[in-house]
Structure 1
Amino acid sequence: MKIGLYFGSFNPIHTGHLIIANYVAYNTDLDKVWLVVSPQNPLKPSSTLLNEHHRFHLAELAVEGASRLRASNIEFSLPRPSYTIDTLTYLTEKFPTQEFAIIMGSDSFQNLPRWKNYEQLIKHYPIYVYKRPGHEVTDTYGARVEILEAPLLDISSTSIRQWIQEGKSIRYLVPDNVAAYILENNYYK
């Protein structure tokens, strides 16, 4: 089985993330897509992050009933900050019969040479890159890359958090069960 790992803070998970994950699950040779909730991105300040267990629960709610999508908290038990190569090495050892691949936007892909042990990453794992406007893939850095034209929504977790703080509705930006749970628990207030 071939599993694509889509890493993110998912703070909170939104429809844009889900459209990409679903598109990749059904329009590539991947069998499943795991949305890997990152406890702490080494490149992002953690002050605006909702507790990782809450973010993971929201991701689980978001993929409820989606047979090819799964929320994963695999990085919660790994040393921090979590680096993609360490997570992949761990998963490959833990699930030796599975094949893993990475899913990322072309904006993140441009930073690949700055990633920890990126040479090891591109040697062992294919990368599925969905295009983001203004971030053309001009160099593949020797990676096995599949470029995807996934439908993109111009919404961000940052603006969703801001809307919540301003008391605005986030309906349609996140799945209904996620919106209800955020509201019930006063997240991002």
Structure 2
Amino acid sequence: MKKIGLFFGTFNPIHLGHMELAHYFVSQTEVEEVWLIVTPQNPFKTNEVLLNDFYRLEMVKRACEPHAQLYSSDIEFDLPRPNYSIDTLRALNEKYTDLEFVLLIGEDNLASFHHWKGHESILKNFGLRVYPRQHLGTIPERFIKHPNIRFVDAPKMNISATNIREQIKSGQDVSALLPVENGLYLQKNNFYR
């Protein structure tokens, strides 16, 4: 059964750190494809100012297009809001019965994973692949030793979408931080200014 890594994010905007992680998963783990799922609104980031869903999806599509094993997904656009990962995972399982899904999350998200809606069901029915990420929380011991959770030695992302938005707003050039396909798209549409 083909294994698909699900990389959820607002991708506000998608940047080279996201792309580096996606490439790591398809080249260094058992994951055969990574689907970058554009989240309309993260339930844990209620005060984040988001660019329109379809603009963010377009940026993810542009970033994935040149890469054979990376795909964009808008599945959450049609689900009730706020949407939770468990709902998306169930919808994907119903739609793609011939695929196996694993969730790709950062250590920061694992530290608060016990607060996620349906986290026990996610752990029972789906694998988690956890990449290093700077975080302030402590990862519960039961997650560290859980058989469906694997820690991977992916490169740490030193790029932040929040910092990119701030740099754009202050007039700085961020093209070196973005997939080449998106630098001009952001500029042309005057996003985040």
Shorter chain as normaliser: what TM range?
over 0.9
Structure 1 residue 76: deviation in Å?
0.3
Q: Which amino acid aligns with 1:122?
A: L
State how 1:141-156 maps to structure 2 within 5 Å: 141=143, 142=146, 144-156=148-160
For residues 99-125 of structure 1, the C-alpha deviation after alignment (integer angstroms, 9 at most, x for no partner) is 111000001011111000111110000
In the alignment, what sits opposite 2:171? 167
* Structure 1 residue 145: Cα displacement: 1.1
Q: Deviations over 1:31-55 (max 9, x none)?
A: 1000111001111125510001100
Q: Is contact 1:6–1:36 with CA below 8 Å preserved after alignment?
A: yes
Match of 1:187 among 180, 183, 191: 191
Letter in 1 for 2:64: V
Amino acid corresponding to residue 139 of structure 1 in structure 2: E
> In the aligned structure 2, how far is the partner of 1:4 from the partner of 1:14?
18
CA distance in 1, matches of 2:48, 2:161: 14
**CA 1:156–1:63 in structure 2 vs 1: closer, same or farther (change >3 Å)?**
same
Q: 2:8 maps to what in 1?
A: 7
Q: Does structure 1 residue 176 correspond to structure 2 residue 180? A: yes
Contact 1:7 1:38 in 2 (8 A): yes
User: 1:149: how far off?
Assistant: 1.1
In the other structure, the counterpart of 2:45 is: 44
TM-score by length of 2: 0.93
Deviation at 1:173, TM superposition (A): 0.3
SS in 1 for 2:177: coil
Structure (1 or 2) with the greater helix fraction: 2
Q: Contact conserved, 2:10 with 2:39, CA < 8 A, in 1?
A: yes
C-alpha change, 1:140 and 1:30, in structure 2 (3 Å) is farther
Q: Return the letter of the residue paired with 1:84.
A: S
Structure 2: how far apart are the matches of 1:130 and 1:183?
31
How many aligned positions are there? 189
Equivalent residue for 2:131?
Answer: 130
Find the aligned partners of 1:90 and 1:59 in 2 and give their Cα distance: 21
Sequence identity, in percent?
A: 39
The residue aligned with 1:111 is: 112
Is contact 2:133–2:157 with CA below 8 Å preserved after alignment?
A: no
Mapped pair 1:139 → 2:163:
no
Letter in 2 for 1:96: T
Which runs of at least 4 in structure 1 moved beyond 4 Å after TM superposition? 134-138
Shift of 1:143: 5.4
Matching residue's letter, 1:116:
K
